[in-house]
Amino acid sequence: MAIYIASLGHSGSIRNLPINYNFEMAPSYFNDDNSLLNFVVKEGNGVKGMVDLGLTEVPGRYIQPPHHRINKQEVVGSHENVTIDLSELDGPNHEQVVKAIVHASETLGFFQVVNHGVPLEVLDSLKVTAHQFFGQPAEKKAVYLKEVSPSPLVKYGTSFIPENEKALEWKDFLSMIYTNEADARESWPNDCKEVVLKFIKTSSEMAQKLLQALIGDLGVKLDDSRLQELTGFNLVNLNFYPACPNPDLTVGVGSHSDAGILTVLLQDGIGGLYVKKGDQNASPGNEVWVEIPPMHGALVINVGDSLQILSNGRYKSAEHRVRTTDVESRVSVPRFIAPLPTTKIGPLPELVACDGVARYKEVIYGEYLKNYFEKSLDGKKSLDFASI
């Protein structure tokens, strides 16, 4: 019979390990699936808790098949990136700024914005808050595990859907659903809620202007109630990517597109975000990826599946992924702006009339999202749910 340690170390992150455990046995201990999933997923230690043991090699469950690994030779550099100064959106250069927003959304599906209205101190505070949250002892984070979280608005976890994934992602996360400020103040973690609420408040006007520009360029007018339906679901993640001993074998996030309308992303200075360029159906080995380089004070904007569907394919929800690094831990903070679960999404009728064809069927967003989370991330295959 094995004797187990209930808690070891001042950090509280090493729990329920055999009493004769030592750092050298980490690879073999974590190559047992049950041991790994219990420690990392069920007990809430996450990848962070595993790395804190002093791992010198990645456990087998995290090793990606070769065609899912991120090969830097496939990356064409960052010259494809567009940085847009939003301070000019309300000035004499309005048309040029809208044109740049539209072009980026039609091609790469990603762009960066500066002078966006979110104070730099809020962005810096978000990054500090993310590091502080994941730096806590495991038991303080584990109270927000899905099975025990005091609120359905808060979830702490790791990877994407561990029970469905053959190879796990090298990532821990905290998700906070925003319904209204009162609910957030009541249910979100105390050490996160103030700065995340500031992020939502200060980024909302920018997000609204971006969507107005994109919808307006389609030649369509949507009333306020329809816009509220299309943007009424908001989710903010704190993502944590611990330093990895074998970054070439792992991924922080696998290739995917986002399900919603727009994503507003804060990334730190470490880098590692890549977007697929051109042919979304290119075979492995023939893919071309563009790095979205970190830029202090900038926010990254990307188009989601729902906007691609609404625009009848004009705007592209780009496939993207995140690389791990062995240098230091990375954090990112995305805000996902999406339709309310009961909202019907389909190509806007004006565009179908103009294009002469509907490229997607009308679906209920909640059903689209359910399908999205039932499977492992796999490029843009989530869009198949709405394809005709």
269, 296 Cβ separation under 8 angstroms: yes
Residue 75: per-residue pLDDT: 66
Q: Which tokens belong to 315?
A: 């705007």
Tens digit of pLDDT for each residue in 90-100?
A: 999 999 999 99
154-158 and 110-114 beta bridge pairing:
unpaired
Give the pLDDT confidence score for residue 151 in this predicted structure. Answer: 96
Q: pLDDT at position 11, please?
A: 37
Q: Are 58 and 26 in contact (CB under 8 A)?
A: no
More confident residue, 6 or 133: 133
> Which sign, positive or negative, has the C-alpha torsion 361, 367, 369, 371?
negative
Under DSSP, the state recorded for 387 is: B
Share of the chain above pLDDT 70, in %: 88
Per-residue pLDDT band for 161 (boundaries 50, 70, 90) equals confident
pLDDT above 70 (res 22):
no
Span 97-114, pLDDT tens digits: 999 999 999 999 999 999
Q: At residue 68, does pLDDT exceed 60?
A: yes
Query: Taking the chain, what is the end-to-end CA distance rounded to the nearest angstrom?
Result: 57
H/E stretch holding 17 reads strand 17-18
Per residue in 347-384, pLDDT tens? 999 999 999 999 999 999 999 999 998 877 778 889 99
pLDDT at 31: 78
Least confident of 6-20, 38-52, 202-216, 336-350: 6-20
pLDDT at 300 over 50: yes
Segment holding 322, helix H or strand E: strand 320-322
Residue 128: per-residue pLDDT: 98
Q: Burial, 33: exposed, middle or buried (Cβ in 10 Å; 0-12, 13-18, 19+)?
A: exposed
pLDDT (average), residues 5-19: 39
CB environment 90-104: b (16+ within 10 A), e (fewer): eeeeeeebbebbbeb
pLDDT of res. 7: 34
pLDDT at residue 338, as a whole number? 98
Confidence of residue 337 (pLDDT cuts 50, 70, 90): very high
Q: Sorting pLDDT into bands at 50, 70 and 90, what band is 318?
A: confident
Residue type, 101: I
Q: Residue 286 pLDDT more than 80?
A: no
Identify the pLDDT of residue 27: 54
Q: How confident is the model at residue 76, as a pLDDT?
A: 64
DSSP state of 127: H
Residue-wise pLDDT tens digits, 120-152: 999 999 999 999 999 999 999 999 999 999 999
Of 85, 82, 11, 94, residue with least CA distance to 50: 11
d(CA 137, CA 143): 11
Check residue 352 and report its DSSP letter: H
Provide the pLDDT for residue 191: 94
Alpha carbon distance 225, 115 (integer Å)? 28
Q: What is the rounded CA–CA span in Å between residue 153 and residue 1?
A: 40
Q: b/e for 362-380, b at 16 or more Cβ within 10 A?
A: ebebeebbeebeeebbebb
What pLDDT sits at residue 71?
75
CA dihedral angle for residue 119, residue 123, residue 124, residue 126, rounded to 10 degrees: 130
